[in-house]
Amino acid sequence: MTKVKSESATLSLKGKSFELPVHSSSLGPDVIDIRNLYRDANVFTYDPGYTSTASCDSSITFIDGENGKLLYRGYPIEQLARASHYLEVCYLLLYGDLPNREQLEDFETRVTRHTMVHEQLLFLYRGFRRDAHPMAIACGVVGALSAFYHDSTDVNDPLQREIASIRMIAKIPTIAAMAYKYSIGQPFVYPRNDHDYASNFLQMCFSVPAEDYRVNSVMSRALDRIFMLHADHEQNASTSTVRLAGSSGANPFACVAAGIACLWGPAHGGANQACLEILKEIGTVDRIPEYIKRARDRSDPFRLMGFGHRVYKNYDPRAQVIKESADEVLDYLGTKDKPILKVAKELERIALQDDYFVEKRLYPNVDFYSGIILEALGFPTSMFTPIFALSRTVGWIAQWKEMLADPVQKIGRPRQRYTGMSTREYVRISDRP
């Protein structure tokens, strides 16, 4: 816990006053410590959606939503995205500092040596229908890892925690690629240790036994950047889900499976798929005003996916760098004039000037461009969210480890404002109206 400030907050309630300690943060807002409020004042705080609630201490990721800043362990995301690579970022998130050469080599070797999955897991896939969404498969298979790797499920053993972390980061690309292969009826492709992390994922998705697949460096670099940009994002819905599941002592594989389930929703990780679908539905630039009109209409539940963010009330810094990758990939493929990219760019331009979007501070988020890149790389939309889950696994693991090491951590147990019936007598069915 950070140090207590000399100032405190005073709550006046029913003629009494309660002093609440204030803790300072190294960046961002201070926090009012309300842990004893219920005990002392017999009230709960009420914050659906946790818009004003800090659920933990964390030193991993910092977001300044007002100014559109994102730091991993203090390093700006733009610098990492342009100069680093995914496994180095994984090391940074997990251990707190950038690795030296030796540390990086050792980490890369450890991850690479764990990329294969237990051969019996293959049979598990066959239990799914062919048309199952890869997220459904990923959720089930990751949860099932705890049935295969008993030697790394004891959360109280630091060595087992470490092994589980490496296993999760190493195996998730294999699991996601297998889910894809299964859904298209092709044989599973085993990981290759002579490839980097992103290239290995591409070859597991796109090579077939009948033909070699040559990984293109423009494509693998773009994918690696997508992985880096999605690696962590402080206490978002899926990360909080992982922490909450982990707070009961559940094993890491079960916790990550819970995170995957949460990420699947269209308001969270599912937005990249939903965003590309909307861009395709719009189809041509002349139809954009019709969709802007729908987004502005309060009586229409339609939302422009890829716009808006709970925390960023400014341009999402990840959107800026991902846009460069979209240009690079489409340039390379010679599809820069693709209608969908034209629609995306024009939609962004119009939305950034539109009163409604300006007033509500709805800027493009990372998902706005990631779908365009992933499609250009050859992925179907159903794989977009599994790729997000793959990238975020390291963030979930880093946050889970941090939570277990936190001395103030206890089982997460929110309370509620009860709005139901007060006590009433049971009525026999024969006496009910």
Of 133 and 161, the one with the shorter C-beta distance to ligand ACO is 133
How many residues are there in the chain? 433
Q: Could you tell me if 65 and 309 are in contact, meaning their C-beta atoms sit under 8 angstroms apart?
A: yes
Rounded to an integer, what is the distance from CA 8 to the centroid of its chain? 34
Residue 220: which residues within 8 A CB-CB, separation 6 or more?
A: 196, 198, 199, 202
CA distance 420 to 378: 51
Tell me the residue number closest to ligand ACO, measured at CB: 308
* 64 is annotated as an active-site residue: no
β-strand partners of 17: 12
DSSP assignment, residue 188?
A: P
The Cα-based distances of 351 to 283, 348, 416 in angstroms read 16, 5, 38
Smallest gap, in angstroms, from Cβ of residue 337 to ligand ACO?
A: 25
Residue ranges in contact with ligand ACO by CB under 6 A: 267-269, 271, 295, 298, 303-310, 360, 362, 365-367
Question: From the CB of residue 119, how many other CB atoms can be counted at a distance below 10 Å?
Answer: 8
Of 176 and 276, the one with the shorter C-beta distance to ligand ACO is 276
Smallest gap, in angstroms, from Cβ of residue 389 to ligand ACO?
A: 11
Of 199 and 273, the one with the shorter C-beta distance to ligand ACO is 273
Smallest gap, in angstroms, from Cβ of residue 99 to ligand ACO?
A: 27
Of 170 and 176, the one with the shorter C-beta distance to ligand ACO is 176
Of 189 and 304, the one with the shorter C-beta distance to ligand ACO is 304
Of 295 and 329, the one with the shorter C-beta distance to ligand ACO is 295
Choice among 114, 232, 309, 316 that is catalytic: 309
The first and second tokens of residue 95, run together, are 């251990």
The Cα-based distances of 159 to 163, 393, 401 in angstroms read 6, 19, 12
Question: From the CB of residue 418, how many other CB atoms can be counted at a distance below 10 Å?
Answer: 8
* 309 is annotated as an active-site residue: yes
Question: What phi and psi, each to the nearest 5 degrees, are found at residue 32?
Answer: -90, 125
Smallest gap, in angstroms, from Cβ of residue 369 to ligand ACO?
A: 12
Q: 292-315 burial string, b = 16+ CB within 10 Å, else e? A: beebeeeeeeebbbbbbbebbeee
Catalytic residue IDs: 309, 367
